[in-house]
Structures are given as C-alpha cells and as structure tokens.
Structure 1
C-alpha cells in the first residue's frame, strides 16, 4: 500500500523524529473510506490492520485463514504512519506525488498542470531514496533546536524562581530593618525615660525643699499673726508698741525668705526633640526604601538599601535657677 512504511533499522529514528504520538496503527479498511480509526488487531495472513468493528467482517467475508493477533502483541508487523495531513496538498487536498525544484514546492496531480513547463519536476517515489541523509541531518538540527528550547525554558524557570526568592528576601530584609529600628527606638525610649525619671527625682527634691521652706514660713506667719491679733485686742499701748517694733524686723526676715522662694521657678513641661536624620526619614515617607533591579538604570539587584542615621533624642527642661537656663539630656 502507498501509505505503509515497513519496520526496518530506521524505526527508532523515525519515532524520535515524529514523536510517539505521530506513529499510529490505523485500521486499513476504514482508511479506504477516509475514516481514521485506531487498529486494535493485526491479521498476519492478510498483512492488514483492523479495528474492532472491521475485525469480524474481515474474518467472515474475506476468504482464507486469518491469524488475528492484538496490536500490542505484534512485534514484526508493519506500522501505519499517520502524516497528520502533511502528505496532502494544501490547495487541492490531494496526495503529494511530485516536487518542483524550480519553485521548491510539493505538488499533487492537480498542481502538475501549473508546473508542467518547469524545468525540473521530480516524482517523489523516484527521488525519495536519496533523502534519508538529508532527513537525518534535519533530525539532528531539530534535536539541537529542541535542546536549545529546553535550555531557554530552564533558564526562564530559573529566572522566575530567582525572582520569587529575591522578592521573599526583600520582604525579610525590610522586616529585619524595621525590627532593628523599632528596637533602636525602644532602647532610646527606655534610656530617655530613665534619665527623665532621674531628672524628675532631682527636680521634685528641689520643689520639695521650696515647699518645705514655704510651709515653715507659713507656720511662722500663723504664729505671729495670731499673737498680733491678741496684742491688738488686749494689749496695752506699751505692749502694742514693743510688739510692733519687734514685728518690723520679723516681717523683713519673712519677706526676704518669701522673695527668695518666689525667685525659684520650675517648668511643668518636658519636651523631646529629634535629630534631622529622623525627621528627614519621616518626610521621605514610603520613598525611604528603594527597590533595586538590573533593569533599573538608577540601581540595583533585588535588595533594599536602607540608611538610618544615629537616633539622638534630646530633652530640654527649663530650670528654676535662671529663666534662660535649659538643662539638656541626650539619648
């Protein structure tokens, strides 16, 4: 038959070239009616492939003995090669039987009328025996191209894997930097609070001393004021005169003490200031972290650059010693 290619030493090469799915055992009676069905059995006596539908009519109506075997069990039978329409003319849907060398075109019987005046129109059946070497070379070149395609695919998968890994690494790096900054701020905060408490303790002591002094003055005032009232109500003029003179000196002493206490002032507000590095970072906002990649002309290969200056927290406390004085604590 015209479509049958018998098994020989080139079977494996043909399988490598066209792929496993291209080599099929088709039912030959069905092929005669342009029906494509996969053969399930092979008649060794008739040298014919059959499907399940054609098997019984073949053994019943066709004369002779029929040694029917399953296709899977048959290792010496010919193989039907399905060309997937490649052996048909695209213009006329007829079997290709010629090749026009002048136009490098495969031709069917209908095409011959167009190419009949060409200088070299070869019948494929006569020249096909010379093409095995060329086909072997094509096969090797196709195998090489397939290898190159596999390499490209592997490279793409590797690039995608590297991209996924680098993205995950970016997230981890940013989280690490965030934790370090939080820890740094927490440590600065604890040191700041500790020094603020120390400062508060010293100031509270001085405030207590001022308050104690004022309480003593108040107690003394209560005492002398009570005596003054009694002298005014019940004292003789001589007693009132003597008490009055004594209270003049006492009053000067009390006034001096109160003036001294009034000069001692304390601020009830403690503030915190931040260095320019920190405020600049806040002003940058989400732009404080930049993404680096090899396609970006400004930088980078998938890692985050993050610059953070030394955190300096300054506490200004207004002291009582002088209205212009400020005590400064740095963390």
Structure 2
C-alpha cells in the first residue's frame, strides 16, 4: 500500500510489510509510518533526529540525493567540515587526516548560519541573474527564429517571382 509519494516505511519494509511513509528522517534517510515515527521520537538513539513530512522530502529528494552524508572511507556519518581543506569529515577522518587543521567545525554549527550568510545571498542573487539572462537568451533565440522564418518566406517569394520572370522570358524566346 504505497502512498501517493511512493515512499514506504523503512522499518516496516525490514519486517516485510509495505506501509506508506508519512514522515522522512533526514538523519536515517528513511521513511517512517505513523507507528514507527512515534517509536522513532522516543527512542534514545533517534529522538533528536530531524523528521519532515514525506511530501516535503519528495520535493527535495533529487537535490538531497546529490549530497553525501556518509564517509566513503569509514562508512560513518559526516559530522565535521574542515575550513582548511574545504571538505567534510567523519569522526575517524579527523584524527587521521585533520590533526593539524585549525578550522574544523561541526557541520550543524556551520549549517545553522548558512541561511543568513552573505555567501547564500550572493548565490541566490547569482542564480536570479542567471535565470534572467537565460530568459533573455530564450527570448532572443525565439526572435532570431521568427526573423529567420520571415526571411525564409520573403526569399522564397522572391525566388518564385524571379522564377516566373525567367519562365516568361523563356516563353517569349
């Protein structure tokens, strides 16, 4: 019984049940039905996890699938960001590769300021400018296509007219 979003409850699937997910855990990257969501909220290991409505997740799914959340080397959650190397790191990467780094911060701390950062506003402004430029390019391209079509008609009419003149001249001869 899949919902309109098509997402199933992960824990129920593990029990070979097909129950529609109503919520999505961003930390577990898994769907949750009503019952499992309640368990998830009171479980010591998962009660601080961020959950969102499954419909909201479906809207951002294509973007969120591009973001790595686990360390490829250690198969652990990425929890730190190294400002010296501009990379994310898990708890095992920090002592291995970032001992000497002076600007290692928790991702949550950096992300909390992300919505109000100047860089985000610059990116948003840049995207709006790109969107505007693309729209102008589309309009210009359409105008060019229309102009070419008009020129084609005009040239085709001129050719027909010239052809008639040639035919008249040949008929006279």
TM-score between both structures, scaled by the size of structure 1: 0.31
SS of the equivalent of 1:180 reads helix
Counterpart-to-counterpart distance in 1, 2:94 and 2:114:
27
Contact 2:23 2:33 in 1 (8 A): yes
Q: Helix, strand or coil for the counterpart of 2:104?
A: strand
Task: Give, in angstroms, the shift of residue 94 of structure 1.
Answer: 1.6
Q: Give the alignment partner of residue 141 of structure 1, picking from 122, 126, 146.
A: 122
Instruction: Count residues with an aligned counterpart.
Output: 139
Aligned CA-pair RMSD: 4.6
Q: Residue 182 and residue 107 in structure 1: after superposition, are their counterparts in 2 closer, same or farther (change >3 A)?
A: closer
Instruction: Name 1:87's counterpart in structure 2.
Output: 69
Structure 1 contact 39–51 (Cα < 8 Å) conserved: yes
1:1-331 pair list within 5 angstroms: 29=11, 39-40=21-22, 50-51=32-33, 55=35, 79=52, 83-84=64-65, 85-115=67-97, 117-120=99-102, 122-124=104-106, 128=109, 131-132=112-113, 135-185=116-166
Q: C-alpha separation between the residues in 2 aligned to 1:134 and 1:118?
A: 29
Residues 133-178 of structure 1: per-residue CA shift (max 9 Å, x gap): 6754333223223223323432342343233223322321222222
TM-score w.r.t. length of structure 2: 0.52
Structure 2 distance, partners of 1:188, 1:147, is 61
Instruction: From the CA coordinates, give the structure whose radius of gyration is larger.
Output: 1
**What's the offset of the Cα at 1:51?**
2.0
d(CA) in 1 for partners of 2:163, 2:84: 80
Q: Distance in 1 between matches of 2:71 and 2:111?
A: 22
SS in 1 for 2:95: helix
> What is the Cα deviation at residue 89 of structure 1?
2.4
